[in-house]
Amino acid sequence: MTDVTADPDRAAQLRDQIVDTLIADGTIVSKPVETAMRAVPRHQFAPDASMDEVYSAYNAVFTKKDEHGVIMSSVSAPQIQAMMLEQAGIEPGMRVLEVGSGGYNAALIAELVGASGEVTTVDIDPEVTDRAARLLAGAGYTRVRVVCADATDGVPAYGLYDRIVVTAGAWDIPPAWVSQLTAGGRLVVPLRMRGLTRSIAFDRAGDHLTSVSAQVCGFVPMQGAGAHREELLLVTGTGEIGLRFDDGLPADPSRLDNAVRTPRAETWSGVLIGRQEPFDTLQLYLATVLDGFCIMAVDPDLDTGLVAPANRWFCMAAVDGGSFAYVTTRRTADEASVEFGVHALGPDAVALAERVAEQIRTWERERRSGPGPVIRVYPADTPDDQLPDGRVIDKQHCRISISWPAATAA
């Protein structure tokens, strides 16, 4: 027995502390979400975890790993769950489908829909659904339906749904997730676009979806038919530097073979940002305007200093022909902020570094103070002339359009 299950009163106290923290940081903004998160005993859905693990506002609890240690299932961090429930706007009496089962989030949804609503949770892994069903029943949420199936097809037996909440990282939007929504229904999904994942709330309008909010997040990736692997391009023979592409490698990746043999070009943008200030719109903006956008990672065990990213695990980058560039930062004199810069390697390194830096300056002038883009999802056979202006990302089942509003002064 863990310390949490041994002392439920202490667990309830810690649960209230988490909710108070999430109210203070602006994650929880509605009374229904607050009430649900105070009511559901989170510790009963992670019985093997310690008190510190279960009752941390910003950390997930991992419940299943494969033989290589890769996370297969988890109870998401309370902050992420509260954020997505606020995005979903679930009301009493609604019919809700949850894609990705763990038990705890389905219990929160059950609290939100009340006795007159319906909750169905689906997962491809029978071990996960068996565990979720057992834990839900033990916590008293016997009305939640638990279905073992590949969620690519949705769960048509119990739809149409007012809300579909996806709790696994998705690369694509299968048609069933749109067709099984009611008119005006909402899909909340952690969607990966060009290597960036955002929890996006989409409202249905006919055959397509339009975003109403987007928040930074990270999730265990989808399994089954919806699984999708990024492609990795190693630009050094040792594997020191890897470039991850979400939608296919460059046309001739061998052109990068000698990029690291050239001197590193460095340019600085003059754009400053506070150390704790989010810059997720910059990430989306560069992913929109740079054709060769990708994510760079450096193996710390093989790092020779050829590149110097601010974050070796996740760094915005771009490829153009035989050159590649990446975004980094340097400290300012007052150390209260950092400055964005660009490093590049390859025969056109100087020009590429300056082009990327100029896009950072454009973001500063026109996008930093304004709203983020509108993201729309259309059927895969939608012609180009029926799509709005902006970056179009083609997936297997859909076409995603990222459109920025009119520029605003910084």
Q: Is 269 a catalytic residue?
A: no
Q: How far apart are CA 98 and CA 76, in angstroms?
A: 13
Yes or no: say if 341 and 308 are a contact pair by the CB < 8 Å rule: no
**List 73, 74, 76, 211, catalytic entry:** 76
Q: What is the CA radius of gyration of the chain?
A: 22
Number of other CB atoms surrounding residue 237 within 10 Å: 8
Q: How far apart are CA 304 and CA 24, in angstroms?
A: 43
Query: Angle 60-80-92 (CA atoms, 0-180°, nearest 5)?
Result: 120
**What b/e sequence results for 88-103 when a residue is b if at least 16 CB atoms lie within 10 Å of its CB, and e otherwise?**
bbbeeebbbbbbbbbb
Of 336, 246, 253, 256, the C-alpha closest to 283 is 246
Yes or no: say if 230 and 221 are a contact pair by the CB < 8 Å rule: no
Annotated catalytic residues are 76
